[in-house]
Amino acid sequence: MQWRDISVGGKLALGFGLVILLLVLVSVRSEMGLDHSGKAYENALDRLSHRYNLKAKENDHLEWTAALMQGLMARDFSSVHVEEDYHQCAFGQWYYSPERMELETDLPALRQPLEAIEAPHIALHKSYARMRALYAQLGDAAYDDMRMVYLQDTTEHLRQFRLALDNVLDILQRASARTENIAKEDSLQNRIIIWIATGVAILLAIIMAYIITVSITRPLGRVVRAADEIAGGDLDVTLPKGSKDELGVLSNAFQRMVASLRTLSLGMDSVAQGNLRVEITPQSDSDTMSRAMHTMVNNLRELTQQSREAIDTLAASIGEISASSAEFSSSAAETATSVTETSTTVDEVKQTANLANKKAKQVMDNAQEALRRAGDGKRYTEDIIQGMSQIRERMDFIAQNIIKLSDKSRMIAEIIEAVNDIADKSNILAVNASIEASKAGEEGKGFAVVAREIRNLSEQSKESTGRIRSILEDISKATSTAVLATEEGTKAVARGEELSSHAGEVILQLVNNANKDAQAASQIAASSQEELLGMEQVSQAMTAIKEATEQNVESASQLEKSLGILENLVQGLTRIVQRYKY
C-alpha cells in the first residue's frame, strides 16, 4: 500500500503513533537511567553512612580512653565505668556483626584493613583489664603502675587502632566519591540521551506534520483553484486522477460535477440559440439542476406553442375590436348629453341635505354635553366611594394598633410589678445586710455602705415604677377613649359608604339615560352626514362620468390608432415565435 492510498485519518494516526512510540521509548530509557542513578547514589550514601558510623565509634573509644585517663589523674579508679569486653563495646558489636560482612562483600578492598583493626582493638581493651587487675591487687598503690600501663600500652594501642580505622575510612571515602561520580556520569548520560531522543521526536513530529499537511493541502488546493475557475465561468477544468484517500474521492467527485455542469452548459447554449428540441437527462433522482433544466425546456416548448396560438387569436380579435370601436364613438356622444342634465338635479338635492346636516350636528352637540356632565358626576361618586373605603380600612388599622398598644401597656404593667417586687426584696436584703454589717463591727463598714446604696437604689426603683404606673394608667384611659372613637368613626364611615353607594346608583341611571340620548343624536347626525357625503359623492361621480364620457370620445379615436399599432406588434411576435423549433 502506498502513502497516497492511506486515508487522512490513517495518516494522522500513523504520524501520532510514531511520535508517541518514540516518547514511550524515551520514557522507558529515562526510567531505567534514573533507576540506575538512584541505586548509585544509594550506594554512595550507604558508604558515607558506614564512614560516619565508624567515625562515631572512633569517638566512643576516644571518650573511653579519656575516662581512663581522668580516673587515673584523679586517683579515683573505682569511679571509672567503661566496657572491658571488646565484643560488647560499640565498635565490637559492629565488627562482629553481619553488617561488617555485608560491607566487606560490597567492598572487598576493606577486608584486609578491617582485619588489621582487630588486634589493636583487642589489645586496647586488654590494657584496661591489666589496670583493673593491678588496682584489684595493690589498691591505691597501683596508680603508678596503672599510669605506666596507660602511657605505654593503652595510648599506643589507641594510636594503632585509629591509624587502622583511618585507613578504612579513607577507603570508604574514596569508594563513596567514586560511586557518586559514576552516578553523576550516568545522570549526565541519561540527560543527553533524553535530550537527543526528545529532539528526534520533535523532528519526527515536524516531518510527519509536514508530510501529512502537504498530502492534505496540495490536492485540496487543486480542488479550490478549480472551484474558483468554475465560479468565474470556466468549465474547461480538468483535475488529475485522485488517490484512494478522502481527498482523492473528493477530487474525483468534483471532476464528475464539472462534467455534469459542462453538459448542462451545452444544453443551455442550444436553448439560447432557439433549439428547444434538446434533451436534458438527470444524472440521478437528486440531480436537482438537471431536472430543473429539463422542466424549463419543456415549459419553454409549451409556452412557445401557447404563444403562437395566442397570437393567432389576438389577430382575429383585432378585427372585431375595430368594428366595435365605431359603435362606441356614437354611444359616447349620446351619453355626454344625458350626464349634463343629471348633474343639475344632483346639485339641488345636495343643498337640501347640507341644511339638514347642520341641524343634526346642533342636536348631537347638546346631547354630548349632557353626557359629559353625567359622566363627571359618576366619576366623582366613584372617587367618594373609594375614599370612604380607604378611610374605613385606615380606621380598622388604627383600631388594631390601639388594641396592640393596650396589650403592650398591660405587658409593661406586669413588668413594672415584677420590678417593684424586686425592689421590695432588694430593700429587705439591704436591711438584713445592714444588720449583719453592724454585727461585724469595724470590718462590716464597707458592707454597710453597699447595703445602704442597695436600699437607695430599691427606693428609687419603686419611685420610678410608681411614676411609670401612673403614666400607663393615663395611656390606658387614652387608649380606651381612642377605641371608642375609632368604633364611632367606623360606623360613620360605613354609613357614608352606604349613602355614597345610593348616590352612585342614581347618577349611574342618569348617565345611562344621557348616553342613550347622545347615541340617538349621534345616529341622526351620522345619518345626515352620510346623506350629505352620499350626495357629494353622487355629484363627484356625475362630474367624473361627464369627464369620462368626454375622454371616451377621445379614446375611441385613439383606440383606432392603437389597433393599428397592436396589429404591427402581433406580426412582430409571430416572427419571434417562428425562430424557436419545438
User: Over its length of 582 residues, how does the chain's per-residue pLDDT go in tens digits?
Assistant: 565 666 666 666 777 777 788 778 777 767 776 676 677 667 777 777 888 888 898 899 889 999 889 988 888 888 888 888 989 998 899 999 998 888 888 888 888 998 999 999 999 999 999 998 998 898 888 888 999 999 999 999 999 999 999 998 898 888 888 888 887 887 788 888 888 878 887 887 788 778 777 777 777 777 777 778 777 777 677 766 656 666 666 666 766 777 777 777 777 776 666 666 667 677 666 667 767 766 776 776 677 767 667 667 766 766 666 666 566 566 656 666 765 766 676 576 567 657 756 765 775 676 677 667 767 766 766 776 777 677 677 767 766 776 776 677 677 667 767 767 776 776 786 677 677 667 766 665 665 676 677 777 767 766 777 777 777 677 677 667 766 766 776 776 677 667 667 766 766 776 676 677 667 667 766 766 776 676 677 567 667 766 766 776 676 567 667 667 767 776 776 766 666 666
The domain made up of 297-577 is a member of CATH 2.60.120: no
Question: What SS3 state is found at 275?
Answer: strand
274-279 long-range contacts (CB < 8 A, ≥24 apart) are 274/579, 274/580, 274/581, 275/581, 276/300, 276/301, 276/304, 276/580, 276/581, 276/582, 277/581, 277/582
pLDDT reported for residue 492: 67
Q: In the prediction, which pLDDT does 155 show? A: 92
pTM, full prediction = 0.37
Domain boundaries, the chain: 3-224, 297-577
In the DSSP assignment, the letter for residue 238 is -
Distance, CA of 296 to CA of 279 (rounded, Å): 11
Give the model's pLDDT for residue 541.
Answer: 64
CB 219 within 8 A of CB 247: yes
pLDDT of res. 257: 73
Residue 285 identity (one-letter amino acid): D
Query: Which pLDDT value is given to residue 316?
Result: 73
> Is there a contact between 377 and 507 (Cβ–Cβ < 8 Å)?
yes
First-to-last CA distance in the chain?
56
The pLDDT assigned to 41 comes to 67
Say whether 282 sits in a helix, a strand or coil. coil
The whole-number pLDDT of residue 194 equals 80
pLDDT given for residue 559 in this prediction: 61
Which residues, 6 or more positions from 528, have their beta carbon under 8 angstroms from its beta carbon? Answer: 353, 356, 357, 359, 360, 361
Question: What is the DSSP annotation of 530-551?
Answer: HHHHHHHHHHHHHHHHHHHHHH
Handedness of CA 38, 39, 42, 44 (dihedral sign): negative
| The total number of residues written for the chain in this structure | 582
Look at residue 157 in the predicted model and tell me its pLDDT: 93
* C-alpha torsion sign, points 572, 577, 580, 581: negative
Alpha carbons 116 and 111: distance in angstroms, whole number: 9
pLDDT value at residue 125: 92
Q: How many Å apart are CA 245 and CA 11, to the nearest integer?
A: 10
Contact by Cβ (8 Å): 560, 256? no
